[in-house]
Amino acid sequence: MAHYRLKIRTAYNDRQVVLEDENGKLVGIVNNAEVDKCDKRNTYSFKNNDEDQIILALKTLRFWDLNVGKYYVITDDSTEMIKETPGQNLILFRAEGKIDGERFVAKETNDGHLKLLLDKQTICLIEERHGKSGAFIDMHEDIEEGSKLFAVCVLMYFMFKQYLRQSSELDHILDYRVDFN
């Protein structure tokens, strides 16, 4: 596994989320992006050192979507969709789709990490470590840093974080009890 770290870098009063390898070398930058009919707060781009850009966008949820997120993977050549699994997403994060024709799954583990699979093989594990800033990414060596799959793995972390914020709000609402006495 190759090891990476997402960090917030501040330079000249500008904050960026950067991805560095285990030697501290810059691999890419994550920025907000805009896509029509997608949530502006939850649309991100990953730009690697070759200036290739991949966008992962959360489709704006409507009432009848029943809180099932749909994510668009957008490149210059194609648009693919990853969709949360209805029912399962009430307990743990899980999204599935196809990336370049292969089955892609992003799922939350029981210990709160994000595990990414391609055709049932683990290709990436993302975790936050308490007391350390940023996220730590372990990526299978066969996944090239300039590939669409690499960028999708990195960007799925941000969708996972959005899901956790949303489910935390739902938990708070469900835990709210009214005492009429």
8 A C-beta contact, residue 49 and residue 144 = no
pTM flag (> 0.75): yes
pLDDT score for 62:
65
8 A C-beta contact, residue 55 and residue 35 = yes
Q: Which residues pair with 5 in a beta bridge?
A: 20, 136
What pLDDT, in 10s, does the model give residues 114-129? 999 999 999 999 998 7
Q: What six digits make up the tokens of 64?
A: 């009848």
- For residue 96, pLDDT beyond 90: yes
What pLDDT, in 10s, does the model give residues 67-86? 688 999 999 999 999 999 88
* Domain extent listing, the chain: 2-175
pLDDT score for 166:
76
Give the Cα separation of 165 and 151 in Å (integer).
Answer: 22
- Output the average pLDDT for the chain: 88
CATH 2.40.160 fits 2-175, yes or no: yes
pLDDT score for 23:
96
pLDDT score for 66:
60
pLDDT score for 111:
93
C-alpha distances out from residue 82 to 79, 94, 157, Å: 10, 10, 14
Per the listing, tokens 């743990």 go with 92
What pLDDT, in 10s, does the model give residues 17-56? 999 999 999 999 999 999 999 999 999 999 999 999 999 9
Name the pLDDT band for 6 (thresholds 50, 70, 90).
very high
C-alpha distances out from residue 58 to 78, 115, 158, Å: 16, 19, 10
pLDDT score for 177:
52
pLDDT score for 3:
96
Buried b (16+ CB within 10 A) or exposed e, 18-46: bbbeeeeeebbbbeebebeebeeebbbbb
| First and final C-alpha spacing in the chain | 58
pLDDT score for 128:
86
What pLDDT, in 10s, does the model give residues 118-176? 999 999 999 987 766 789 999 999 999 999 999 999 999 999 998 888 776 555 455 55
The amino acid occupying position 104 is F
DSSP 60: P
List of residues 6+ apart from 4 with CB closer than 8 A: 19, 20, 21, 22, 27, 136, 137, 138, 139, 154
Name the pLDDT band for 63 (thresholds 50, 70, 90).
low
Q: Strands 121-127 and 135-139: what pairing?
A: antiparallel
Query: Cα 48 from chain centroid?
Result: 16
What CA dihedral angle connects 121, 75, 23 and 105, to 10 degrees? -20
